[in-house]
Structure 1
Amino acid sequence: MKTIIAAVVTCMVLFGVSAATTHLFLSEPPADEETEVAENAEGEEIADESPVRAMPVAFRPESAVSVEAVLQMSDSIKKMEQQMATRQQRLAKDEQRVQLLFDDLATEQDELRAFSEGIDAKVDMVKRLNSSLRETLDQLDARKAELQKLEKDTGSDEQSQQEDMDSRVNDVKSWFAGLEAEQAADYLKEFANNGKLAFAASLLQKMPDRQKAKILEAMSDPILVDQLIDALTIRPKKK
């Protein structure tokens, strides 16, 4: 019994000593690092603290990793790197395409701008030509009016000629109306042969319809009859 009690006391003493020693080591501040003192040329001592490198911490897996798992992990990493490289190449190609699109758009904008400027220049040219043409037409209208006035003053215009012919027809209308149909037909034929077809048609136009028909019937020249009828058809009416 005494032996057991002595063993228990001994264990308790050893446990207490061990606990005190552990507490002492844990509560004691860390020792200063040793410094090397070197004497320089002037005899002064310089403390050189040697830096302490932190050692990397290695984590060990709970279970052992096989070589196959390591190879698979390495292959997976290589595949990921290849995928990243492929994506980078695609991104580079996409950037090139976008840049080409921007360049094409810039070129098209320049072409459209040049085309618009060309259209504006052509529009200005057309406006100038239109203005010049309008001035030319105004000048032609003025000259035409002058010519018409000159013809009217000299009696060479169509209206003056028609008025002169009507006046001469009216002078002989009464005499011509008293002739027989055969005589009137002979006179009209003579007028036409002398180049006075318009005068003959005007004179015939002044006759009544019944006498006009008799005169045309008395003519033995169907060609002259057709010419007189055509002249009567196209003869302008007096305004």
Structure 2
Amino acid sequence: MSSHLERVSNDLLRQWQDSDDADDELLDAQKLRAVALHAASVLPSPLPSPVPGSPITFTHRKPTSLELGYLYKWLHLDELSHPPPNPAPYYSRAVLTGALQHVHETPCSVPCLRSPFHLCTRLFCSYRSDMGDFPVSFVVLKEDGYSIDAIGTYSSFRGTGAAKSLVEYCINLAVERSDEEYYEIDSLISSILFWRKLGFEVVPAREIVKSKLKELEYHRPMRKIIKKK
């Protein structure tokens, strides 16, 4: 094992041992090293960037175990470039857990449809036509199967429409599966402009449940009409 991969695997092992989410059954050092090797070895170097002049279309689906390696890598890079507090480490661990399950139980080409870790069964990615199977954006859905719990885009592809296409995909799921009048999200303060560009409006404070008011320091509930009553 090269010194770089040894360092990667040891870092991941320490990360899991220090995590409140750690599960004893998932702390097998050999398996975790295998996942670390997998995540580090399957990645292009350098990581892809948009191809100028290429037609931009997006597809949306669950990632395969191989693609979880890509996703883990750029989430980890985001962690390094955005010091705490930020939610990236938690979702990196979530992705790593899914990879741990599927690297050992399914071929790399099989979508992650089975996982004991609920976030990975509700994970969808956006793929650009000019990038093949490299996931450039992702959402983690809530238990209802259509509401967005978290969303992220690889830094090189922000502003290309990757996240917008995923939001539209999730809204279409809500239209098909629910009778809700609004599609609701909790936006970081820094992301309000992004959501407004997609037609979302901030929910007036008077309509927010009192127990949620203390969260307004960091988040704002936002919504978009998807069905007329």
Output the TM-score relative to the length of structure 2: 0.20
* Alignment TM-score, normalising by the size of structure 1: 0.19
Identify, as 1 or 2, the structure richer in helix. Answer: 1
Q: Which has the higher contact order (CA 8 A, sep 6+)?
A: 2
| Larger-gyration structure (1/2) | 1
